[in-house]
Amino acid sequence: MARVKLPDGSIREFTDGVTVAEVAAAIGPRLAQAAIFADVDGAPADLSRKLAGDVALKIHTDSAAEGVDVMRHSTAHILAEAVMRLFPGTKLGIGPTIEDGFYYDFEVARPFTPDDLPVIEKEMEKIIAEKKRFERVDLSKEEARKAMAAAGQSFKVELIDELPGDSVSFYRQGEWTDLCRGPHLPETGRVGCFKLLRTSAAYWRGDQAKASLQRIYGTAFAKKKDLEEYLRRIEEAEKRDHRRIGKDLDLYSVHEEAGAGLIYWHPKGALVRYLVEEFWRQEHLKNGYDLLFSPHIARAHLWETSGHLGFYKENMYSPITVDEKEFYLKPMNCPFHILMYKNRLRAYRELPFRWAELGTVYRYEKPGVLHGLLRVRGFTQDDAHIFCRPDQVEAEICRVLKFVLHMLRTFGFKEYEVYLATRPKEKSVGRPEDWAMAEEALRRALAKENLAFGVDEGGGAFYGPKIDLKIKDCIGRSWQCSTVQFDFNLPERFALEYVGDDGKTHRPYMIHRALLGSIERFFGVLIEHYGGAFPLWLAPVQAAVLPISDPHVAYAEEVRDRLRAAGFRVELDARNERVNHKIREWQLQKAPYMLVVGEREAAQKTVAVRERTGEQSTLGLDALLEKMHPRLRERV
């Protein structure tokens, strides 16, 4: 008998050889209809998997994230078959699922165009309507290699050669077959709603030296309303693209002739950055931090000691030679702060040291991943390092977590996800017991602050585990900004010490933390979160004074000067243009307040207020200031 243990702990008995689909049907028709795939003894399996003996079974449905992920992977296979039908001779790359969708890479005779996508979608709909079963086929590696070579699928041959073991699995849908480990839907007809989104160029295995491919992105959902909501979010995200808004509002630019991935801050963007950084500095001073400045380059020996040349060299720029010695641009600030700590012997009563720096660092990113402000090669890191005694670690981490949430909430981010990232499987340093101790310290701090968290297995830094906070913007997208990292490695490498109350030297621990991440990336996130309509305290121009005609300019200047004297950033638009034209332009510039003045306003010493929200009123200057000051003071 097959004794099937279900997630609720109950056990059901069936004849050996029963399939997962039959078990689902025995449990109930609704489950049978919604089932996508299953975990059998913790391993993913198709619904056609036969069961025998004692097994633990969990059935995933089309309403669960895991089930939707499998649906998307099956849709990627349908996409590949459709492309092969329409473009004979196509070579197949890979087709994984990604967050919110999937993609598939192809080598084709010509690049795809947007006009190709509706044609491919129609062919996919035909394949879905055919309700072809997904069937797993296992072949020896030699058989698989011969079959793919005969079909001219050289990329698949390369993948087969790299797979472990003596056999590989394929999935067949009708006459079409693809290399895949599965699992898949029972049949093509189980795909809910799908949409192809865009095309792009890609390199095989992400290597610029290898073949150039064409990538098609798509998504799939079980229900039409979910797909429609996703497409609405995409449309909204395109409207909020920080690259377009940054250009429209004249905030920053990137100049390829001077170097990709380097940001040029224009006056308005530089002003917003100044406001962010000044708030950052003020809050750090309030929270017991000291501010530092450190150089931009250092000798190779420093980066050898820190381990960066061993673990991070591919992200560092080539060295420059000074006085016959090699120097590197800094990718991190931490070794510089360590040198300052080592400047003299420290005593236990001095600890903790909380040292913060807005330090500009340089990291090599491949051209294909550079993306506006979000992925750059030179950026200013919101950085700090805390040197503390072992008995201070938990309290300091709790203190940092409170500080993180305060900062994020002030900038308008109310929702977030928290993850504990553990030891990487490769490229990590330190003893297992040190990692276990550090991870436990982070867990205790999260519990103490009542923060629910997920575990990112293997996602830690090479020198220690970390806590990552992903903020959610106003349309529900997640952004990685804040991180709190435990480090027992660098204090050991640099032989950091302090004198304890016993008169002996001891090794301090080190906490790396960033509240905002990089200033560039955070600024890009802010732009997209607010759609360029920054809150009053961050708006580069808080109010525009718009005289209706030349005779009203003198009073407009009086309004401007009064607001400036009260601490507001105000511009006077005295151009010889119709006032409605000026209002429209300042609306496009996202100004929080537009203050129209004409003959009546000048006589009554008032202004006609048009707020960015659409609200209109007529106010005296004192009443206007009473309205603006609380919004400025409360940072709303």
pLDDT digits (tens, 9 = 90+) for 563-615: 999 999 999 999 999 999 999 999 999 999 999 999 999 999 999 999 999 99
- Sign of the alpha-carbon dihedral angle for 46, 47, 50, 53: positive
303's CB contacts (< 8 A; 6+ apart) are 309, 316, 328, 335
> Of 60, 132, 195, 334, which residue is the catalytic one?
334
Dihedral sign from CA coordinates of 167, 168, 169, 174: negative
Contact between residue 523 and residue 374 where contact means Cβ atoms under 8 Å apart: no
HEC letters along 85-143: HHCCCCEECCCCEECCEEEEEEECCCCCCCCHHHHHHHHHHHHHHCCCEEEEEEEEHHH
CATH number at residue 626: 3.40.50.800
Number of domains in the chain: 4
Q: What is the DSSP letter of 184?
A: -
Q: Is residue 277 located within the same domain as residue 358?
A: yes
Q: Which sign does the torsion angle of CA 122, 125, 129, 131 carry?
A: positive
Whether residue 512 lies in the annotated active site: yes
Catalytic entry in 240, 363, 375, 610: 363
In Å, what is the CA distance from 634 to each residue of 254, 535, 536, 537? 34, 10, 10, 8
Residues 266 and 206 occupy one common structural domain = no
For the entire predicted model, the pTM comes to: 0.84
Distance (Å, rounded) from C-alpha 508 to C-alpha 498? 7
Last-in-domain residue among 491, 525, 559: 525
Contact 609, 616 (CB under 8 A): yes
Q: Which is the catalytic residue, given 375, 423, 512, 521? A: 512
Residue type, 496: L
**Same-domain status, 126 and 214:** yes
Residue 531 lies inside a defined structural domain of this protein? no
Active site residue 383: yes
* Contact by Cβ (8 Å): 100, 219: yes
Closest CA to 340 of 309, 301, 383, 385: 385
Same domain, 17 and 32: yes
* 535 within some domain: no
Sites in the chain below the pLDDT cut of 70: none
The CATH number given to whatever domain includes residue 290 is: 3.30.930.10
Residue 312's pLDDT is 86
Together in a domain, 469 and 517: yes
Task: Look at residue 305 and tell me if it is in a domain.
Answer: yes
Query: Residue 589 gets which letter from DSSP?
Result: T
Name residue 128's amino acid.
I
Same domain, 268 and 304: yes
Active site residue 214: no
User: In angstroms, what CA-CA distances link 430 with 313, 463, 631?
Assistant: 19, 7, 49
Q: Mark which of 490, 525, 560 sits at the end of a domain.
A: 525
Establish whether 363 is a catalytic residue. yes
267-286 vs 393-410: helix crossing angle, rounded to 10: 140
pLDDT reported for residue 489: 85
Per-residue model confidence as pLDDT tens digits over 333-377: 999 999 999 999 999 999 999 999 999 999 999 887 899 999 999
Give residue 65's Cα distance to chain centre.
Answer: 19
Tell me the C-alpha distance between 197 and 194, whole Å: 10
Question: Tell me, what DSSP letter sits at residue 266?
Answer: -
35 within some domain = yes
CA dist., res. 474 & res. 293, Å (int): 35
List the Cα angle 46/47/49 in 5-degree steps: 70
574 and 551 belong to one structural domain? yes
Mutual orientation of helices 116-129 and 65-86 as an angle, nearest 10°?
A: 110
Residue 244 lies in a domain: no
Task: Return the CATH number at 170.
Answer: 3.30.980.10
Q: What angle do CA 603, 608, 611 make, to 5 degrees?
A: 160
Catalytic residue among 69, 383, 473, 487: 383
Q: Does 360 fall in a domain?
A: yes
| Domain limits for position 25 | 2-61
Q: Are residues 32 and 101 in the same domain?
A: no
Residue 22 is assigned to a structural domain of this protein = yes
Closest CA to 556 of 83, 630, 624, 548: 548
Specify whether 188 is located in the same domain as 208.
yes
- In a shared domain, residues 400 and 510: yes
- Is 69 known to be catalytic? no
Distance CA 86, CA 90 (A): 9
Catalytic residue among 466, 477, 552, 560: 466
* Active-site choice (132, 156, 385, 610): 385
Type of residue at 77: H
Q: 417-445 b/e with 16+ CB inside 10 Å = b? A: ebbbbbbbeeebbbeeebbebbbebbeeb
246 domain-assigned = no
Q: In 10 A of CB 224, how many CB atoms? A: 10
pLDDT of the residue at 62: 87
The CATH number that applies at residue 30 is: 3.10.20.30
pLDDT the model gives residue 366: 86
Q: Is 504 a catalytic residue?
A: no
Tokens of 19: 């399939």
What is the pLDDT at residue 360?
Answer: 96
- Active-site residue flag, 77: no
57 and 74 both lie in a single domain: no
Scan for tokens 């086929």, then name that residue: 137
**In this structure, are 298 and 262 located in the same domain?**
yes
